[in-house]
Amino acid sequence: MPQTLSILWGRWFAAIAIALVGGALAPLTVWAQLSPAIRDPFLSDPELTEPRDPLLPDLPVERRLSPLEKSALRDELDGLAAEAEQRYLEGQTDLAFAIWIREVRLRRILGYEAEIAALQRVGLRAWENSRADEVQLITLRLRQIQADLLAADPLDIELLEEIAAAFEILRDIDSAIAVYETLIVRAAQTNDRAERQRLLENLASLQQNWFRFPEAGKTYQTLLTSLGSNRDPIKEVEYLRGAIRNFQDAGDLRTAINYQQRLVRLYEETLQPRLIPPLTLAIARNYRNLDDLSQAQTFYMTTYSTALAQRQTDVASDALQDLADIYEALGRSEDVLYLYEQRLAVERLSYNGYGLMQTFDDLGQFYEAQGEPDTAIAAYKEALILADHLDHREAYFTLRLQQLLLNQGRLTLPPLEQHQASRVRALQKPEPWKGNSRIP
């Protein structure tokens, strides 16, 4: 390559490096603030614009590189990427990113697949290091590629999904979602139902992973609708669970309940009864959180009976405890005591020592709140026996009992004089020792 072109390239590369170093410490800015001196050279075609990079061969006429020349360039760029990585590990971050930007620009010559992979790799580094200018450059180039790919016929779906993945790496979730929405529209236009369903699943996963819960819930609604009359129980369960999970996380409990009840019916139709009690317990808790106590009580009782019939004692016990909390808040003490008796019976049925211990603890606290210390003491004693057997929480129950007994005057502390009389005598002056002999 002629010396003048090499000098021009060196000056341009130095300008880019200086500009990026200066911008690295600045906060993320809007696109309009990115200097054209940085933006335009990076977005230009490296094969056809000047100054020409020294890694490119000196050609007598303007033309694209041959396959052999591209293969040689690929090796050179791999070396450039390795050099940037080494500089980065040595702490020369600014120089490393200047080299990476140069490498990414030249990868364009090798085709979209190679370029997008490089944009993803360098984009991740740029985002991790809060490199505002590099993130903007990479985003702008991704949008150029996206526009080119969308203009092509047929669409390269795989590359467009890689574009979406690159946007996700840069935390530009709106752009990633927009890619999928465009692809979904195209799939619908071509009546490719399988492809549309796959893209919707990917979109729902993307939205959910980035906490777009209302949007993810709606995408699962669309997926459920897409099943139509050709029911696929496995897919239907998957989409119902996705809708429930996302509407629940979004705080839309009414909609979550609707899909939970629909899932209960599906489990009944597909003869999966063991999956129903945990689901009806979740429905009961949603109604409770909505202050719809009538519906909550109905579903708690349904959960208890069905769980007990299937010996799902943990679910039955949880339903009883939640229901007891409701009745206690309503001042229905007799109902609370009845539910605790049932809960004790359930825990005994399953030989659950820890569950029994916790139930006696809850029962003791209930009696304390009711002003019945004797009955509370009896409950705590039962809990202490179990705690001692399980070697778990003995100190807690001992303290509970001591406090109650002390309050009743049934546990007395020795008077201060007795403590003073029983004290160990004061320490005398220590006797000196040397080796194994006491010094007289």
Alpha carbon separation from 196 to 165, 184, 199 (Å, rounded): 18, 5, 5
Picking from 230, 293, 302, 232, the residue whose alpha carbon sits closest to that of residue 260 is: 302
pLDDT, tens only, 63-110: 899 999 999 999 999 999 999 999 999 999 999 999 999 999 999 999
| Percent over 70 (pLDDT), the chain | 86
Three-state DSSP class for 371? coil
Instruction: Say which amino acid occupies 253.
Output: L
Calculate mean pLDDT across residues 273-279. 97
- Report residue 403 as tokens: 């406090």
Question: 26 pLDDT band (50/70/90 cuts)?
Answer: very low
Residue that has been written with the tokens 């200018």 in this structure: 133
pTM for the structure as a whole: 0.81
Question: Which residues make Cβ contacts (< 8 Å) with residue 429, sequence separation at least 6?
Answer: none
Calculate mean pLDDT across residues 294-308. 96
Question: Which residues make Cβ contacts (< 8 Å) with residue 242, sequence separation at least 6?
Answer: 204, 208, 216, 217, 220, 223
Delimit the CATH 1.25.40.10 region(s) of the chain.
272-351
Question: ω into residue 273 within 30 of 0, thus cis?
Answer: no
Torsion angle, alpha carbons of 385, 386, 392, 398, to 10:
-30
Residue 94: enclosing H or E segment and its boundaries? helix 93-107
**Average pLDDT taken over every residue of the chain:** 88
Three-state DSSP class for 23? helix
Q: For the structural domain made of 272-351, what CATH number should be given? A: 1.25.40.10
Contact criterion met (CB below 8 Å) for 227 and 236: yes
Least confident residue range of 31-40, 74-83, 87-96, 381-390: 31-40
Question: Which residues make Cβ contacts (< 8 Å) with residue 3, sequence separation at least 6?
Answer: none
Question: Which residues make Cβ contacts (< 8 Å) with residue 400, sequence separation at least 6?
Answer: 364, 380
